[in-house]
Homo-oligomer: A and B are copies of this chain.
Amino acid sequence: MAQQKKVSAVVIRRLPRYYRYLGELLSTGITRISSKELSEKMGVTASQIRQDLNCFGGFGQQGYGYNVEFLYMEISKILGVENGRSMIIIGAGNLGRAIAGYANFAKRGFRLLALFDNNPALVQQTVGNLTVYSMNELNRFLQSHQVDIAVLTIPRAAAQQVTDQLANTGIRGIWNFSHMEVVPPPGICVENVHLSDSLMTLSCNIEQMQEQES
């Protein structure tokens, strides 16, 4: 798609949500949807939806709506989901195991290959059908496997050092849960996850609701 490069960072942030909703529609057998219906389902305005979807070519037709499967496939291309990305998890504690157990990743084309940890008590354990390897084996593993994404579920103190270690290994992206915004080596993208941000937002919404009641 020639339009891909024009998609702004703001719209990119919203695409996963469209992708998720369209996937749910598909799974319930809905093949067509108007921007109005999609807007009610997603809680955003219809004009926002039309604007966003126009960004990458505008697949809707007046009075006819969007072809759900086509839109889903186009968004999956932009998201790079159909490329079947391979992942490893660095940090096999509770959070690493929780992510390893999340079956939806596989459904969306993300293949998890292995977990790594520097705790000898965890090394050689299995998580689902995967093995936990020692951190000493990381470099060798990356030389013999094509891995696109490293998931960091390690303490913040180790995050930058492990990130630096991923330079020139073929890793293209870091999904970082370490509560610290790491600086990636050249050619590697980072997505920093701050779980507590959404807890703060919840707390703020509770606060505002209570003020309105009082």
Contact = CB atoms under 8 A, between A and B. Distances in A.
A81 B200 contact: yes
Interface stretch (A66-74, A89-97, A114-122): A89-97
A63 interface: no
A83 B211 CA distance: 13
Contact of A193 (B5, B95, B198): B198
B5 A207 contact: no
A148 interface: yes
Contacts of A194: 16-17, 20
Given A95-B98, A195-B102, A206-B189, A79 B200 contact: yes
Contacts of A7: 208
Contacts of A105: 196, 199
Chain copies in the assembly?
A: 2
A180 B116 CA distance: 29
Interface of A: 4-5, 7, 12-13, 15-17, 19-20, 78-81, 83, 85, 93-95, 97-99, 101-102, 104-105, 108, 110, 148-149, 172-175, 179, 187, 189-191, 193-212
Given A20-B194, A85-B203, 11 more contacts: A5-B208, A7-B208, A12-B201, A13-B201, A16-B197, A83-B203, A85-B206, A93-B98, A102-B195, A110-B199, A191-B201
A175 B191 contact: no
B207 A83 contact: yes
